[in-house]
Amino acid sequence: MTHVVYQNIADMNEFVVIDGTTLEVTKTVKTPEITGNHPLQYDPQTKHVIVGGQNGLSAYDAETGKLVGTAKVQARIDQCTLEPSSQLIACAGSGEHATAIDPTTGHAFVVWAQPDGDFVQAYSTK
């Protein structure tokens, strides 16, 4: 397949692989290690699909669906950003709403929404 889409199915603890040309589901990958799948990132360098949830991150081989690794992170992550050239991943959760990684500086940015306004915080990853 030339064009591939990966989609979390949160309530079933799985993600599906979709042929981007035909829009047909070609594979279902169970993710029993993750509860409440939400953020999903594809790493083109390692060809891994990284899935986050209420209890951590798991990485799967994109072609075989085999689990290749897990990591503990804060509970209930909501969004993740992967910066492939540096192999950094930043995840936000519990009131944090967005993440970004500057590939030049390596800084990770997180946005918080508050009743009196939003703000951005940068963190050094080095």
Residue numbers of the domain that contains 40 = 35-123
Over residues 107-123, mean pLDDT: 83
Mean pLDDT for 105-111 is 86
pLDDT tens string 13-49:
999 999 999 999 999 999 999 888 888 999 999 999 9
* Residue 21 included in any domain: no
Look at residue 106 in the predicted model and tell me its pLDDT. Answer: 85
Provide the 3-class DSSP secondary structure of residue 110: strand
pLDDT at 96: 67
Q: How many domains does the chain have?
A: 1
Angle at 98 between CA 59 and CA 46, to 5 degrees: 25
Closest CA to 31 of 9, 6, 63: 9
Measured CA to CA in angstroms, residue 49 lies from 18, 24, 41, 74 at distances of: 13, 19, 6, 19
Query: Per the domain annotation, does 47 fall within a domain?
Result: yes
Residue 16 falls inside a structural domain: no
Residue 70 in any domain: the answer is yes
Do the Cβ atoms of 57 and 49 come closer than 8 Å?
A: no
Q: What's the distance, Cα to Cα, between the start and end of the chain in Å?
A: 37
Q: What would the DSSP string read from start to end of 5-55?
A: EEEEEGGGTEEEEEETTT--EEEEEE-TT-SS---EEEETTTTEEEEEETT
- 68 domain residue, yes or no: yes
pLDDT computed for residue 65 by the predictor: 96
Query: Residue 24 domain-assigned?
Result: no
Residue 12 tokens, joined = 């079933």
Q: Does residue 109 form part of some domain?
A: yes
Question: Confidence class of residue 118 from pLDDT cuts 50, 70 and 90?
Answer: confident
Q: In this structure, is residue 110 part of a structural domain?
A: yes
For 56-94, the pLDDT digits (tens) are 899 999 999 999 999 988 877 888 888 888 888 888 876
Q: Over 90: is that where the pLDDT of 5 sits?
A: yes
Predicted confidence band of residue 1 (pLDDT cuts 50, 70, 90): low
Confidence (pLDDT) at 88: 86
